[in-house]
Structure 1
Amino acid sequence: MSGAEEAIVELENRLEEVTLEDVAARHRREKKELQAKLQAMKKNAPKNNKNKRKEFLEEMTRLEGELEQRHKAELQAAEAKEAPGNVAEPAPEEEAKKPAVKVDENKEEDEEEDQAPSNQRVSKAQKRRNKKAKEAREREAEIKVELQNAANQPSPKLIELEQITAKLSGRQLTLHHIASDGDCLYQSIRHQLIVNGLPGHSVQGLREETANYVRANKEALISYMTHPETGDLLDDEQFEKYCQDIEKTHAWGGHIELKAISSLLRVPIEVIQAEGAATLLGQEEFGGSPLVICYHRHIYQLGAHYNSTVPAEA
């Protein structure tokens, strides 16, 4: 038996009186819980191991896919249970125990009876079934509208991409996509050197020069370098490990590395992001046209990412 079939059986056995509204509410809660779980997984994801990062991404995709499949199966089961043909008729003894129908309900039932063929009398049980089926259809329509509205909301990734694209368009630039492999900052800088006709550097060469610059300027930089888990300033041992990670691993780069690269290449670097003004490093020291790259917070689930740019006419 597949996971979807097991979900349907469990739903039928445990939730005899479930409604589409109940199912939708629980689905929203479970989606929030999964997002919290994925955020926790992201914090613990290895940043310097390409294979482990790939395994982590596949696990996130699997969890999201399983939840979506189960939710689809449960919605189908709930819809089938609330269909008019599946509503059980009350037993005679239960029928006798029910209170008298209110005046407004009598009026509604009379209207339904008037709509029936003259030679066919609609029983009270059938009227109740019709009413319950109508309410179920109304709830289902409301849920579909709610889900559709949620699906139509643009994702943070799309919003960010549109904002960055608009800023680049105003400067006659377009995005040049860089692979998300931990080297995106260095790959973006390497691409910009080629675009601007400047002396080229390999990614490994940029990493080694950056690590050497950070070591040589330890006193000026260490006061800005903190441990990602504790938030405390790095001690000497942690500082050296930081430099080794720059040089020998695929550790992601940030502001410290950008400052180092700008200084060692003696060229300004401009970082465009969706919100706020662009960050410009080295303009006062070196002048000239900057290397222009983009910083994305939401483009990938595993974290931030850098892309390069090219002139729009290219």
Structure 2
Amino acid sequence: MEDSQSEPQRIIRRHHRERKELQARIQGMKNSVPKSDKKRRKQLLLDVARLEAEMEQKHQQELETFRESFPGDGNLDSVTEDLSKMNLENQPPRQSRAQRRRERRAALERVRQERMAKAEMEQQASFRRDEEEKLAAILRAKNLELKDMPADGHCMYRAIQDQLAFSVTVESLRKRTANYMRKHVDDFLPFFRDPDTGDAYSRQDFLSYCDNIVLSPSWGGQLELRALSHVLQTPIEVIQADLPAVVIGVEYSRKPLTLVYLRYACNLGEHYSSVRPFKAAAAASRQ
């Protein structure tokens, strides 16, 4: 008796699952036929109607067979009614036409943003490759090659550190740079401006900037290179891909320290690297 009471539930749930599977199959059939192909779409509608009718007939026959086997079992009707209600309750709320339009616009905007981001990444990669090729040619002519530094905000100081013949820490270079700039405010303040507007900063702004050189991994630039050339009493040569090399501290007679300035090496912005003797040239000189 227990088996006969649970059988209606098994039948109705299987029917429900088979209808869902058929709908998924029908959706796949619809997706495979272009809307512009009217002949195939017409045939598709006929095929869909046939499949639905065949399944409905099959389910009705199975239910009739069960009723004939258990004529006194009223459980089938109640289970069918309960599952029918459950199916209705599980349907998602219908969206308004305006909501569908908003969702389509949002989806299109996401696609547009993704395409723009991909295009920017591809353009950045192209600029990076072009810059690397130009710099490699410039450095090869000097029997040098790029020696990359970590992109951690200290890259300029690390490149200077790498070029020096004596041992010094990045922290020491930062501190000595800031101290020199504080002692020579009037030499640096005229060149200390907002990079976007060109407006001059105040003296207090400049002193706060010097504090940040020591207290944070702030990027270094031309002002810091000028200070370092005075601190080290050494020229600093900066090689670039699309502009002539710049030498800071030409008043000093020592051999210049050589840095490479890259615009596109890092996604976050500009980057400084060091150089070293070109491997092939160094190997040939040892032979």
Residues 140-189 of structure 1: CA distance to partner in whole angstroms, max 9, x if unpaired? xxxxxxxxxxx799700110011111100000001101000000000000
* Residue pairs, 1:117-266, within 5 angstroms: 155-193=126-164, 198-228=165-195, 230-266=197-233
Look up the SS of the partner of 1:86 in the other structure.
coil
CA distance in 1: counterparts of 2:234 and 2:143, whole angstroms: 21
- Once the two structures are TM-superposed, the CA of residue 199 in structure 1 deviates from its matched residue by 2.4
Look up the SS of the partner of 1:262 in the other structure.
helix
CA distance in 1: counterparts of 2:38 and 2:166, whole angstroms: 84
CA distance in 1: counterparts of 2:37 and 2:258, whole angstroms: 71
Provide the residue aligned with 1:279 in structure 2.
246
Look up the SS of the partner of 2:38 in the other structure.
coil
Residues 17-39 of structure 1: CA distance to partner in whole angstroms, max 9, x if unpaired? xxxxxxxxxxxxxxxxxxxxxxx
TM-score under structure 1 normalisation? 0.51
CA distance in 2: counterparts of 1:164 and 1:294, whole angstroms: 8
CA distance in 1: counterparts of 2:266 and 2:245, whole angstroms: 21
Contact 2:236 2:248 in 1 (8 A): yes
Provide the residue aligned with 2:37 in structure 1.
89
Provide the residue aligned with 1:301 in structure 2.
267
- Once the two structures are TM-superposed, the CA of residue 264 in structure 1 deviates from its matched residue by 0.5
CA distance in 1: counterparts of 2:124 and 2:191, whole angstroms: 38
Q: 1:289 to 1:205 in 2, by over 3 A?
A: same
- Once the two structures are TM-superposed, the CA of residue 307 in structure 1 deviates from its matched residue by 0.4
Stretch of structure 1 that moved more, 221-230 or 167-176: 221-230
CA distance in 1: counterparts of 2:264 and 2:212, whole angstroms: 24
CA distance in 1: counterparts of 2:156 and 2:254, whole angstroms: 21
- Once the two structures are TM-superposed, the CA of residue 87 in structure 1 deviates from its matched residue by 4.5
CA distance in 1: counterparts of 2:195 and 2:246, whole angstroms: 22
Over aligned residue pairs, what C-alpha RMSD do you find? 2.9
Contact 2:189 2:203 in 1 (8 A): no
CA distance in 1: counterparts of 2:207 and 2:158, whole angstroms: 23
Contact 2:124 2:264 in 1 (8 A): no
Q: 1:205 to 1:273 in 2, by over 3 A?
A: same
CA distance in 2: counterparts of 1:223 and 1:152, whole angstroms: 36
- Once the two structures are TM-superposed, the CA of residue 209 in structure 1 deviates from its matched residue by 0.3
Contact 2:194 2:201 in 1 (8 A): yes
Letter in 2 for 1:289: K
Aligned residue pairs: how many?
Answer: 174
Look up the SS of the partner of 1:181 in the other structure.
coil
CA distance in 1: counterparts of 2:129 and 2:174, whole angstroms: 31
Provide the residue aligned with 1:6 in structure 2.
none
Provide the residue aligned with 2:49 in structure 1.
none
CA distance in 2: counterparts of 1:190 and 1:180, whole angstroms: 15
CA distance in 2: counterparts of 1:244 and 1:231, whole angstroms: 22
Provide the residue aligned with 2:237 in structure 1.
270
Contact 2:134 2:241 in 1 (8 A): yes
- Once the two structures are TM-superposed, the CA of residue 230 in structure 1 deviates from its matched residue by 4.2
Counterpart pick for 1:311 among 274, 277, 280: 277
Look up the SS of the partner of 1:267 in the other structure.
coil
CA distance in 2: counterparts of 1:152 and 1:245, whole angstroms: 33
Letter in 2 for 1:160: E
Work out whether 1:290 is the aligned partner of 2:261: no
Q: 1:217 to 1:301 in 2, by over 3 A?
A: same
TM-score under structure 2 normalisation? 0.55
